[in-house]
């Protein structure tokens, strides 16, 4: 097991579009385990491979209170979206920043599991927000890009200052 370093906005590597996983092998399973460990240690409720500088389509999500409901989605595809909800989002790549984002209320998702087998699932509420947020990372998109240019500028300035202090 290993904790992986997380990229921080505005690192341009967060804008990389991830490539599909071509084979669910031991290396992919190890990556999923290390990502779950990294997410739980933070603690967080979702992490995309992009955030640990691996540009493959893999996300881990666990919205349970007690880290008991890990979901690993490989090559996730959201193929239905209905309704709207607003949720105050955060991101392990944008520490200390939280803001409201409007997304679909209900989604249907197709993905491969750790066994390499395809499955489909429904998600609503927080789980739906979390999956949409993480799939955005795989497409090179960070949640702050839904905010106004003014807010994005302020967030960049704040995180650049923090990065200088911790360097």
Stretch that binds ligand QAP, among 9-17, 21-29, 74-82, 129-137 (CB under 6 A): 129-137
Residue with tokens 């640990």: 52
Say whether residue 87 binds ligand QAP (CB under 6 A). yes
Which residues are known catalytic residues? 134
Stretch that binds ligand QAP, among 4-12, 91-99, 144-152, 159-167 (CB under 6 A): 91-99
Among 5, 96, 164, 166, binds ligand QAP (CB under 6 A): 96
Nearest to 31 by CA among 52, 6, 62: 52
Among 31, 60, 72, 92, binds ligand QAP (CB under 6 A): 92
Among 7, 36, 38, 46, binds ligand QAP (CB under 6 A): 46
For the chain, first and last CA: distance in Å? 26
Stretch that binds ligand QAP, among 15-23, 25-33, 42-50, 152-160 (CB under 6 A): 42-50
Min dist CB 70 to ligand QAP, Å, is 13
Query: At CB < 8 A and 24+ separation, what contacts does 41-48 make?
Result: 41/3, 42/6, 42/92, 43/67, 44/92, 45/126, 45/130, 46/130, 46/131, 46/133, 46/134, 47/6, 47/92, 47/134, 48/18, 48/134, 48/135, 48/137, 48/138
Residue placing its CB nearer to ligand QAP in the complex, 12 or 96? 96
């Amino acid at each position: 097991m290993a904790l992986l370093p997380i990229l921080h906005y505005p690192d341009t590597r967060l804008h990389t579009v991830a490539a599909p996983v071509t084979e669910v092998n031991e290396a992919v399973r190890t990556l999923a385990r290390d990502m779950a460990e990294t997410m739980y240690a933070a603690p967080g409720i979702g992490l995309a491979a992009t955030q640990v500088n691996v540009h493959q389509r893999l996300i881990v999500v666990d919205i349970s209170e007690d880290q008991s409901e890990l979901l690993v989605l490989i090559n996730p595809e959201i193929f239905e979206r209905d309704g709207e909800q607003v949720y105050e989002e955060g991101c392990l790549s944008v520490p200390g920043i939280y803001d409201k984002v409007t997304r679909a209320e209900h989604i249907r998702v197709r993905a491969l599991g750790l066994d390499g087998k395809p499955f489909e699932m429904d998600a609503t509420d927080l789980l739906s927000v979390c999956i949409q947020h993480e799939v955005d990372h795989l497409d090179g998109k960070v949640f702050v890009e839904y905010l106004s240019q003014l807010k994005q500028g302020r967030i960049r300035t704040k995180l650049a200052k923090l990065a200088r202090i911790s360097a």
